[in-house]
């Protein structure tokens, strides 16, 4: 029990200052449980390919007033994973779609659920590679298995026709079998264009939305907030109007006026 061993000295010093035997034993065991949970999470993070640790408690709901905090907190209780429902985060760049999707995946991993993350482009590439190697079925099964699959960034990169077909097959397999969390900067009407086939996109959306929570985020980019804070730090004496604008905006303004 390495966790207990590591925490033992600290617990013993608390015993010297009056901690009771039952509490001391409890603290020693809690240290072991904490270590085990942490290791389990680390292992889940590695196998799930999550790109970063973004938790829901790090999310600043005050910055995104269009987002209903209760809806996200309710999703974080993972009933949707139990019921094999989907979640779709829609919104422009930087509003926190990936952050929230990863936050839900981490919450699921912490509860011992198997999770997997990929951008749409990555997942399609892996399916196409498996197809070329004659291992498509095996890859499909691997990607159907996780209780929660995150499909990030639908709409940023073009999708080939065969890639779109493979993705449709994957989503059909997961339909009513396991939850998928998707993010997109494009509205559903534009998915036909992304997948290069209106009929297939309609069938895909039909399956996804049958049991689905849609979270529409209408707000400003958190990345731009970071830029504008940096701009203010670099130009503390600048006039307030220009200081609140990030450099690109000001450049554009200049172009328009000249």
**Residues contributing to the site for ligand ATP (CB under 6 A):** 54, 58-60, 63-64, 91, 93-99, 153, 183, 185, 222-223
Looking at the Cβ atoms of 94 and 146, the one nearer to ligand ATP is 94
> What is the spatial distance between Cα 115 and Cα 123, in angstroms, rounded to a whole number?
14
Strand order from edge to edge, sheet including 148-154: 115-119, 148-154, 179-184, 86-90, 212-216
Stretch that binds Mg ion, among 25-33, 97-105, 241-249, 250-258 (CB under 5 A): 97-105
CA distance 45 to 26: 28
**Between 126 and 221, whose beta carbon lies closer to Mg ion?**
221
Q: How far is the CB of 66 from ligand ATP (least distance, A)?
A: 11
H helices then E strands: how many in the chain? 13, 5
From the list Mg ion, ligand ATP, none, partner contacted by residue 222 (C-beta under 5 to 8 A by kind): ligand ATP
Q: What is the largest CA-CA distance in the chain?
A: 78
In this chain, which stretch among 46-54, 95-103, 158-166, 214-222 interacts with Mg ion, using CB under 5 A? 95-103
Per-residue binding letters, 50-89, with Mg ion (x by CB under 5 A): ----------------------------------------
* Beta carbon nearer to ligand ATP, 185 or 228: 185
Q: Indicate which of ligand ATP, Mg ion, none lies near residue 96 (CB less than 5 to 8 Å, by partner kind).
A: ligand ATP
CB-based contacts of 19: which residues, under 8 Å, 6+ apart? 11, 27
Position with the least CB separation from Mg ion: 98
Q: Do the beta carbons of residue 245 and residue 228 sit within 8 Å?
A: yes
Q: Decide: 151 and 180 in contact? Cβ < 8 Å.
A: yes
**Which CB sits closer to ligand ATP, 4 or 48?**
48
Q: How far is the CB of 109 from ligand ATP (least distance, A)?
A: 17
The minimum distance between CB 185 and Mg ion, in angstroms, equals 8
Measured in whole angstroms, how far is the alpha carbon of residue 246 from the centre of its chain?
Answer: 27
The 3 state secondary structure assigned to 162-223 is: HHHHHHHHHHHHHCCCCEEEEEECCCHHHHHHHHCCHHHHHHHHHHHHHCEEEEECCCCCHH
Least Å distance between CB 152 and Mg ion?
Answer: 6
Cβ distance 37 to 6 under 8 Å? no
Q: Which stretch binds Mg ion (CB under 5 A): 11-19, 36-44, 91-99, 205-213?
A: 91-99
- Among all chains, which residue has been given the structure tokens 């292992």? 43
Residue closer to Mg ion, measured from CB, 14 or 51 = 51
Q: Which stretch binds Mg ion (CB under 5 A): 14-22, 96-104, 122-130, 137-145?
A: 96-104
98 contributes a contact to Mg ion by CB under 5 A: yes
Per CB under 5 A, residues contacting Mg ion are: 98
């Amino acid at each position: 029990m390495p966790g207990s061993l590591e925490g033992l000295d600290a617990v013993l010093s608390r015993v010297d200052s009056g901690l009771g035997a039952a509490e001391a034993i409890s603290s020693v065991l809690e240290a072991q449980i904490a270590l085990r949970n942490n290791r389990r999470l680390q292992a889940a993070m590695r196998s799930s390919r999550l790109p970063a640790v973004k938790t829901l408690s790090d999310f600043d709901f005050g910055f995104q007033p269009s987002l209903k905090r209760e809806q996200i907190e309710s999703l974080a209780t993972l009933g949707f994973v139990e019921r094999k429902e989907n979640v779709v985060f829609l919104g422009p760049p930087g509003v926190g779609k990936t952050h929230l999707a990863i936050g839900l995946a981490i919450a699921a991993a912490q509860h011992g659920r198997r999770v997997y993350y990929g951008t749409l482009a990555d997942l399609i590439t892996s399916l196409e590679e498996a197809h070329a190697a004659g291992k498509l079925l095996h890859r499909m099964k691997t990607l159907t298995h996780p209780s929660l699959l995150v499909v990030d960034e639908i709409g940023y990169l073009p999708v080939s026709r065969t890639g779109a077909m493979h993705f449709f097959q994957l989503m059909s397999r997961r339909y009513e079998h396991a939850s998928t969390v998707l993010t997109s900067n494009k509205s559903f009407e534009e998915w036909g264009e992304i997948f290069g086939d209106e009929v297939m996109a309609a069938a895909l959306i039909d399956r996804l939305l049958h049991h689905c929570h849609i979270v529409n985020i209408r707000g400003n980019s958190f990345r731009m907030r970071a830029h504008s804070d940096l701009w203010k730090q670099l130009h503390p004496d600048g006039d307030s109007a220009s200081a609140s604008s990030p450099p690109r905006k000001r450049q554009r303004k200049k172009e328009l006026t000249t």
